[in-house]
Amino acid sequence: MPKVREALSAAIQRLGDCVDAEILLAYALSKPRSWLIAHADDMLSAEHAVAYTVLVEQREAGEPVAYITGRRGFWTFDLEVTPATLIPRPETELLVELALDRLPHDADAKVLDLGTGTGAVALALARERPRTQVMATDTSTEALAVAQRNAERHGIKNVSFVHGDWFTPLGERCFDLIVSNPPYIESHDPHLNQGDLRFEPMSALASGQDGLNDIRRIIRDAGRHLVQQGWLLFEHGWNQGDAVRMLLSNASFANVLTMRDLEERDRVSGGCWSVSNDCDLR
């Protein structure tokens, strides 16, 4: 039987990725990754060696590590992830940060997360601002079930989940802040046929010819669901900043802005709703 270090180096050779190889071995052994270093000279049992080989083969066939292990870290959470949900990305934490900047610690607020997937953004906001009530929607009932389990596992109570397409299930409800990480990839982008994206739900990734179909709908309808001075913030592609700022300005949003991610690429835009609304703040 191989030692931990031998199994790892064989997997690194096959996968060309040290982190993936470690995460999968730790998963096969039900140990934290740090355990592997301290036990590099331990022998793997036959069952563990076989289990690890199966996982490495799955990864070699292209399956994302997060779907193999069913977990992905986001913000302060270890989240359940399934092929019904987009795999949370680190760059989406920028959306969380910008939303938190607009949510006071010491006041009640109503927040809407459109297309919540695993619940990543909604849960982060609910955890950081306990006085906020977060409503999170998704068109996928399977994704909502994952999000619900994530809320339960992390004991987060100030979030509720609603099934439906963007604003459709919300009636005349109004919010102080609306956030979304919608699909925004151009439908013909070759990246959709490469790497991890091949395994993720297309409905969470692609959005028409220019990638902006869903963002256009969100911008068009958000005003009806925002209190005056309420903010809309959403993630988008690195090359969509100019287009979405234009859409926001044309739709009567003020203070329109785009923020860049750690790689210095346009990533999140938004604006403040400048018009008064007959709001249902239930």
Nearest residue (CB) to ligand GLN, 36 versus 248: 248
Gap between the Cα atoms of 179 and 123, Å rounded: 12
DSSP code for 280: B
Output the six-digit token pair for 156.
Answer: 């987060």
Alpha helices (H) in 30-128, listed in sequence order = 33-38, 46-60, 65-69, 93-101, 120-128
Nearest residue (CB) to ligand GLN, 89 versus 154: 89
- Contact footprint for ligand GLN (CB under 6 A): 89, 181, 183-185, 197, 205, 235
To ligand GLN, the closest distance from the beta carbon of 281 in angstroms equals 29
To ligand GLN, the closest distance from the beta carbon of 59 in angstroms equals 18
Gap between the Cα atoms of 259 and 189, Å rounded: 23
Nearest residue (CB) to ligand GLN, 62 versus 104: 62
Gap between the Cα atoms of 181 and 110, Å rounded: 18
Nearest residue (CB) to ligand GLN, 122 versus 205: 205
To ligand GLN, the closest distance from the beta carbon of 245 in angstroms equals 18
Length of the chain: 282
To ligand GLN, the closest distance from the beta carbon of 54 in angstroms equals 27
Residue 263, class by beta-carbon neighbours within 10 Å (0-12 exposed, 13-18 middle, 19+ buried)? exposed
To ligand GLN, the closest distance from the beta carbon of 215 in angstroms equals 10
Is the CB of residue 268 less than 8 Å from the CB of residue 94?
yes
Output the six-digit token pair for 84.
Answer: 């019904």
Nearest residue (CB) to ligand GLN, 179 versus 197: 197
To ligand GLN, the closest distance from the beta carbon of 133 in angstroms equals 24
To ligand GLN, the closest distance from the beta carbon of 207 in angstroms equals 8
DSSP code for 17: -
Nearest residue (CB) to ligand GLN, 138 versus 176: 138
Nearest residue (CB) to ligand GLN, 140 versus 181: 181
Gap between the Cα atoms of 62 and 195, Å rounded: 6
Phi and psi, residue 276, nearest 5°: -75, 150
